[in-house]
Chains A and B, each alone.
Chain A
Amino acid sequence: MLLTHDIEFTLNGVKKRLTIDVTMNALDLLRDVVGLTGTKYGCGEGECGACTIRVDGETRNSCLMFAVDFDGRDIVTIEGLAADPKADALRESFVEHGAVQCGFCTPGMVMQASHILETHPDADAETIKRGLEGNLCRCTGYKKIVDAVESACCGAK
């Protein structure tokens, strides 16, 4: 018999109340239960950053969290960034700078980049590179991603 737990959390600004299996992974909750597939499964063990989300303002690999850990938290996914004008500028910067190729790592990159933008609005390229260290990309060679974030940081100043 499954052990379930009731959780209540804010997801992209909307209150959610769910009864979930206590062993459920947070990434699975987002993708399979609430259908927010912008957050990607890349490795399932916190190494690639494709599943990056924001939990109470901090970025986390959702694949490393249990869904019960969402209880009482404020969760923002890539879909939630749609309401954030600063994130619009960041996404546009990704597009303009050619920071997107296959695009699979991109939502996680944008999530991490938005956090850098918020916490280090004057970040230089080295700071940005260190900030993106936990996000793997196999297509772009990172340069254009760093350029995109740097340009957005300049714009945010």
Chain B
Amino acid sequence: MNVAEKPVITAESLIGQRIQKKDAPEKAAGKTRYIQDMIVPGMLHAKILRSARVHARIKSIDTSAAKALPGVHVVLTAADVPDQQPIGVARDHLPLKGERVRSLRDEIAAVAADSDEIAEAALKLIRVEYEDLPVIATPEDAIKPGAPLIHPAPLDAHGRPKSLPPKTPIAFAGKPDNIAMRFDYTHGDIAQAEAESDVVVEDSFQLHYVTHCCMGVSGVIAEFDASGNLLMYSNTQVPFLHKREFAEYLNIDPSRVRIIQPPIGGGFGSKLDIYPFEVICIFLARAAKRPVKMVFTREEEFLASPTRQPVLLTLRSGCKKDGTLTFRQVHTLHDNGAYTSWGATTPFVMMQTFSSLYRVPACDYHTTVVYTNNPYAGSFRGYGNLQATFAIEQHMDMLAEKIGMDALDFRLKNAQDAGEVTGQGMTFKSCGFKECLTTAAERSDYRKKHADNIANRNARGPVKRGIGIASMLHVGGGAKIYPSDGCGTILKLDDFANITLITGASEIGQGSETVLSQLVCEELGLPISAVTVVNNDTAITPWDVGVHASRTTFIAGNSAIGAARKAKAKILAAAAKKHGCDEGALDLRGGFVVVAETGEPVVELARLMRNLHFSDKAELVMTTFYYEPPSVHQDKAFKGDVSAAYAWAAQVVEVEVDTDTGIVKMTKVTGTHDVGRVLNRLGLEGQIEGGVVMGQGYALTENLIVENGVTRNPNFRDYKLVTAPEIPEMDITFVESMDGEGPQGAKGVGEAPAICIAAAAANAIYNATGVRMFALPFTPEAVYRALRGAAPKPHWPAWKPE
């Protein structure tokens, strides 16, 4: 079955329509039960004691008073869980810390009690004695020769490194330096490309800490049945990976772990890894032999959920006088925090941007990801791409200005086209990049406003207007990171021709239930209301690798279409046999089997289904389909076509800069996205608008302030999310490049809208004032200083990776 086959779209087609979100009525009525709202009979409430020191050796922990508190059932420390295994991407992280804490969020002890209040009171009774260690607060300090090690190899009694036998509980053997990971990529001849350049620019950029701020904080309930099987209610984005990993930690077969996902109050990448609180909750439930629920407070969510990683970035870019890009050379230094989660691997995406956003003959990219005593970094919508794009898109404007070329023409000259194979081996089978650029520019009147703003820079009055453009490239057809990037679907039709769509893909608010229903109904000629989606239980749903990489519409969509087409074939064959006609001449429309050519009804689908189900040769219409995209893993040199499709966008940002106060107001965003094809226009607009405002927050207001390892603003009062009156006017349009592999031609778009807002805003501030912003966020203070030449430019340390 070729899922890429496109059926003829008729007037009654569901594709491209504004389809209401299936779960919206329940949510708007306050009836949806999130993890926070769930009660399991007999459950206990759990809290975690976190480190009071940024970096310290733990000399002793006394839990006796906590254990004696009435209502406390279990108190655990690392000493109570000798079988704990390290978690995380580099397996450098024990859920409960026994000997040493490396950041303020570190988990030292956990309590399960009759209520949250009792658990909280018990935490206050736990006494911990620390011996402080030197704090490494910045990656620059971490890489200095002789810097104290954050993960030194464990020593034996004689002070020599221990040689640990394999599979010992502490499997992480430590590091000889503070470098967690390195990434190096190159294509082309940099020296030659530089020699051919007429203009070269080099700058450093500083990208800051931000965090997800899911409105529904993190939480789980862990429960064991009488046979020792684990049931987790969890708002994870990767249930199947959790299933496998939890089994590993418990040393049981994965079949004995079941993950149920209640509706999820936002994810944005924050729920992609295994976190200590989840494993600790399992330990507590195992010890208490009772279900245990743990839900973060908002402060805890700020302190102990992952962040978007801070990056110091230096970029050299060159071009010829005629506007041809020649090379990019990049070094990035990532603040990993104390442990390695997905933040460390964001260079996968960054290098894609450096190597392939625009045609660039030579690219050289080096990243060093270093441990510090800061909060550890995870994955966050856009996954490194916001940081890379911030630098590249400012350099595009700077190069254009240096050669006296219009910034839009410069981009168009270097923009990718369909058919291009990049240095990294990415193949752009569909590409609406140039159309995105021209559409966004035309709709915003970019050229005229850009020229007018420059002419008005010296006009009277403190408020200057600016307009800036930036573009982005992101995976739009999954990303082959794990052994499989696939998704399975089970489709069941009942005897009233209603559908149960059982998919591996999770709904985290993005609208996947609705778009998958739409794709299936399009195939089977049924209304959306005919579908019930089951997508929240690993005991029922087939495999899916999780909600990430803007992959769900593409991967789960193709999987759903595959299952629907198998069901359709089965139905039409049965109808043809029963009604003595050629199945090739039949189709499904409006709940009927019809003659394809005329639309004349042959039999009502519900009636046919009953005939099939209740005849003496009963046959159920139940199909399965597994879709694995035709992408490949990158090789060791990071080359390979890692996604089945690539998404493009151009966004134009307009600002007003008050030069007296430094306040930047984002007045309008004109965004054009190559989405392959619009499936659900309403949902798509919602994704783009939400992403734009998230990008606005990244650019202007959001800043997780971490000083010497201490998070200074773990609340919504001091961590500023954008509010309703601050949003810009938004003009969102779509380019339909009809991707050959995509479901009905569509590509993924979840992360795309957040990616280039900050870059476009920086270009807009420059257009307004003639001042470049090299560090985020553009707070009034930062802008005020920059306008007066008092903002220090980010400084690359006197150090190069070996």
Chain A residues at the B interface, C-beta cutoff of 8 Å: 31, 37-45, 47-48, 50, 77-79, 81-82, 91, 94-107, 110, 126, 128-130, 132-146
Contacts and interface: CB of A to CB of B under 8 A. Distances in A.
A136 B508 CA distance: 18
B715 A101 contact: no
B87 interface: no
Given A44-B297, A48-B215, A102 B508 contact: yes
A69 to B, nearest CB: 19
Nearest to B216: A104
A141 B689 contact: yes
A133 B686 contact: no
A44 B215 contact: no
Given A104-B266, A106-B28, A144-B685, A43 B715 contact: yes
A19 B43 CA distance: 24
Nearest to B507: A102
A114 B266 CA distance: 24
Interface string B177-218: 000000000000000000000000000000000001111110
Contacts of A44: 297-298
| Chain B facing A: main interface SS | loop
A137 B265 CA distance: 11
Contacts of A141: 686, 689-694, 727, 730
Contacts of A128: 724
B789 interface: no
Interface in B3-41: 18, 20-21, 23-34, 36-37
B216 A102 contact: yes
26 contacts: A37-B36, A39-B30, A41-B36, A42-B298, A47-B716, A91-B25, A95-B20, A98-B686, A100-B21, A100-B28, A101-B686, A102-B264, A102-B265, A102-B266, A105-B215, A107-B29, A126-B725, A128-B724, A138-B214, A138-B266, A138-B721, A139-B690, A141-B689, A141-B727, A141-B730, A143-B689
Nearest to A128: B724
Contacts of A105: 215
A141 B676 CA distance: 23
Contacts of B268: 138
B686 A136 contact: no
A99 B690 CA distance: 11
B542 interface: no
Contacts of B213: 136, 138
B689 A101 contact: no
A143 B730 contact: yes
Interface in B680-712: 682-683, 685-686, 689-694
A103 B27 contact: yes
Contacts of B212: 138
Given A98-B683, A129-B727, A141-B689, 15 more contacts: A38-B29, A38-B31, A40-B265, A47-B716, A48-B298, A50-B215, A91-B29, A100-B23, A100-B24, A130-B724, A135-B724, A142-B693, A142-B727, A143-B727, A145-B724
| Chain A facing B: main interface SS | loop
A137 B215 contact: yes
Given A141-B692, A141-B730, A95 B28 contact: yes
A94 B730 contact: no
Contact of B32 (A45, A103, A132): A103
A39 to B, nearest CB: 7
A47 B682 contact: no
Given A48-B215, A142-B693, A143-B727, A98 B685 contact: yes
B671 to A, nearest CB: 11
Nearest to B27: A103
Contacts of A101: 21, 266, 509-511, 686, 690
A101 B20 CA distance: 11
A88 to B, nearest CB: 9
Contact of B34 (A95, A96, A104): A104
Contact of A110 (B28, B33, B263, B509): B28
B264 A45 contact: no
A139 B28 contact: no
Contacts of A95: 20-21, 24-25, 28
B384 to A, nearest CB: 20
A134 B297 CA distance: 19
A132 B725 CA distance: 8
Nearest to B263: A103
Nearest to B730: A143
Contacts of A45: 298, 715-717
Given A100-B21, A101-B686, A102-B264, A78 B215 contact: no
B727 A103 contact: no
B31 to A, nearest CB: 7
A96 B596 CA distance: 33
A105 B690 CA distance: 14
Contacts of B25: 91, 95
A134 B724 CA distance: 8
B251 interface: no
A110 to B, nearest CB: 6
Interface string B255-296: 000000001111110000000000000000000000000000
Given A37-B33, A43-B715, A133 B21 contact: no
Contacts of B227: none
Nearest to B265: A104
A13 B37 CA distance: 23
Nearest to B723: A133
B21 A129 contact: no
Given A78-B30, A104-B215, A142 B724 contact: yes
A89 B268 CA distance: 30
Interface in B503-521: 508-511
Interface in B456-509: 508-509
A101 B688 CA distance: 12
Nearest to A41: B36
B297 to A, nearest CB: 6
Nearest to B691: A141
A97 to B, nearest CB: 8
